[in-house]
Amino acid sequence: MRSISIPRLTVFSEAHILRNALFLFAITTLFYAVGAMLRLVQELSLFWPLNAVMAGIFARYVWLNRLHYYAICYGAMLLFDVVTTQWGMASLIINASNMVFIVIVAQLVMRDKHQAGSEPGPINALRLFYYCLIAAVFCALLGAIGSEGIDRQSFMPSLADWFSEQFSTGVLILPCVMTLTLPHEITRIHGKQLLPVLFLVLSVLAAIAVGGAGSLAFPLSALIWCAIRYPLPVTCALTLITGAAEIILVANSVINLAVSGPLQTAQLFSTRLGIATLAISPVIVSTSVAAINNLMRQVSLRADFDFLTRVYSRSGLYEALKKQPVNASQHMTVMLLDIDFFKSVNDNHGHECGDYVLTAFARQVREVVGEQGLVARMGGEEFVVAAKTLDPLDGYQLAENIRRRVESTVFHWRQQPLRTTVSIGIGSGTLDTRDTIDAFNELLVEADEYLYRAKKAGRNKTCAKSVAETDIRHEEASA
């Protein structure tokens, strides 16, 4: 698949205080301007994205939650009002209510992150939903009091308007800001991958055509399909676009809720709450799918590797062998290694010491074998090495390197020196017409037979069919 790399872009960084301050000021001003524009053209403010965007930024970057950064955000809001409105003192309260939403959400998400430990997930969708609800209530109370002086609405409609707007934009925008990641590369997209988006567009069009309150739920199944197919950030973005589009379409009577007369606060209140409740479902599905995929990766990793010694497990070795490129003329050496008198390590020093020796032994073997082969624990104190070698002699020498390394190593257990040795049986040959797994299994049987001989010959020995010990000694003498 062809792809184009794009450079990484970092906006906030813990070390760059001035840059963070400038970006916070610029983003606050930008989204304040967007919200103010939407206010000017509508009697009811359709969207006030600023609070959710800023809450998302503060929740995402824990280290931004400092008094001076909050102050920059608040200051930018006040400055915008001073320049563009005559609100006077009311501006202090209205913008304080914006800060209430931002700080409550950020603090609640931060509390979750602390409790989640070292590996928190990107978001907990259900919690975000309730955090938006709590933050919207407090924000709306203060906002409705503050806007009494500048707005013709009385307290209750104003409270409903503030609350529904804060809650719905929060639920739609927060997951998006908290998961937003720019792709590191652009990959070609196949037509089939676009089907969920196509279905989503069709479902919004169907909502416009059919109308009525129920039509707002039409995009739900398409969004859930998107949640299953696409990564979390894409699902969050699609949910935001769909939810915002529905609110705009309802406000402009393009989606007709079958109400007589102009749209009232009560209908917009209900629409916003309904859409927020629907919008959280695909995000929940998407986070669940991401969590399941993560779990599957961890489970398969656990099954492939031996928990104690960190080398391959038996099944992991077979999986790794299947992935090896097949080359009929490749010579392969399979070694079966069994630690000598391991039972006495357990008996004399305890099981914990036995575990330590197994781990240290596996590390030694891995270091000697390196990139030349795969190391696996077959069970107990028995290990296997499957290595690409030039010929039987090359394989024998690799086995001898392991045996000598183990023999010369002094393990330390609670300040006590410990020595151990290993017996190795070898099976070796080329793949010929066999596949890697068949060849490995046959060589393993051979290795098992020679391991038995190595043990019988007194242990701390390497035994193989294809290398006569006299030849080896001859080789060593002439080396």
Report the chain's terminal Cα–Cα distance, integer Å.
51
Report 419-458 residues binding ligand GTP (CB under 6 A). 455
Can you say how many angstroms the Cα of residue 418 is from the centroid of all Cα atoms in its chain? 42
Nearer to ligand GTP, 404 or 459 (CB): 459
Q: Is residue 280 a contact partner of residue 173, using CB atoms and an 8 Å limit?
A: no
In this chain, which of 149, 212, 370, 380 binds ligand GTP, going by CB under 6 A?
380
> Which residue's beta carbon is nearest to the bound ligand GTP?
354
The closest alpha carbon to 210, from 244, 270, 258, 251, belongs to: 258
Question: Which amino acid is located at 447 in the chain?
Answer: A
Q: Is residue 282 a contact partner of residue 225, using CB atoms and an 8 Å limit?
A: no
Residues 279-318 vs ligand GTP: string with x where CB under 6 A? Answer: ----------------------------------------
In this chain, which of 6, 187, 341, 445 binds ligand GTP, going by CB under 6 A?
341
In this chain, which of 324, 346, 364, 460 binds ligand GTP, going by CB under 6 A?
346
Cα distances (angstroms) measured from residue 454 to each of 366, 374, 450, 458 = 21, 22, 6, 7
In this chain, which of 196, 233, 354, 392 binds ligand GTP, going by CB under 6 A?
354
Stretch binding ligand GTP (CB under 6 A), from 163-171, 209-217, 341-349, 362-370: 341-349
Q: With CB under 6 A, what is the number of residues at the site for ligand GTP?
A: 15
In this chain, which of 312, 342, 396, 440 binds ligand GTP, going by CB under 6 A?
342
Question: Which amino acid is located at 470 in the chain?
Answer: T
Least distance CB 302 / ligand GTP (angstroms): 16
Residue located via tokens 């039509």? 215
Least distance CB 357 / ligand GTP (angstroms): 8
Cα–Cα distance measured from residue 330 to residue 310, given in angstroms and rounded to the nearest whole number: 27
**CB within 8 Å of 34: residues ≥ 6 apart:** 47, 49, 50
Nearer to ligand GTP, 232 or 362 (CB): 362
Stretch binding ligand GTP (CB under 6 A), from 38-46, 253-261, 340-348, 432-440: 340-348
Question: Which amino acid is located at 465 in the chain?
Answer: K
Nearer to ligand GTP, 113 or 459 (CB): 459
Nearer to ligand GTP, 29 or 346 (CB): 346
In this chain, which of 59, 339, 375, 431 binds ligand GTP, going by CB under 6 A?
339
In this chain, which of 111, 302, 322, 351 binds ligand GTP, going by CB under 6 A?
351
Q: Is residue 267 a contact partner of residue 229, using CB atoms and an 8 Å limit?
A: no
Alpha helices in 16-66 (DSSP H): 17-41, 49-60
**CB within 8 Å of 101: residues ≥ 6 apart:** 51, 52, 55, 135, 136, 138, 139, 166, 170
In this chain, which of 111, 310, 322, 343 binds ligand GTP, going by CB under 6 A?
343
Neighbour order of strands in the sheet with 373-379? 373-379, 382-389, 331-339, 422-430, 462-464
Cα–Cα distance measured from residue 107 to residue 430, given in angstroms and rounded to the nearest whole number: 63
Stretch binding ligand GTP (CB under 6 A), from 137-145, 185-193, 350-358, 412-420: 350-358
Residues 204-243 vs ligand GTP: string with x where CB under 6 A? Answer: ----------------------------------------
In the complex, the residues that contact ligand GTP under the rule CB under 6 A are 338-343, 346, 351, 354-355, 358, 380-381, 455, 459
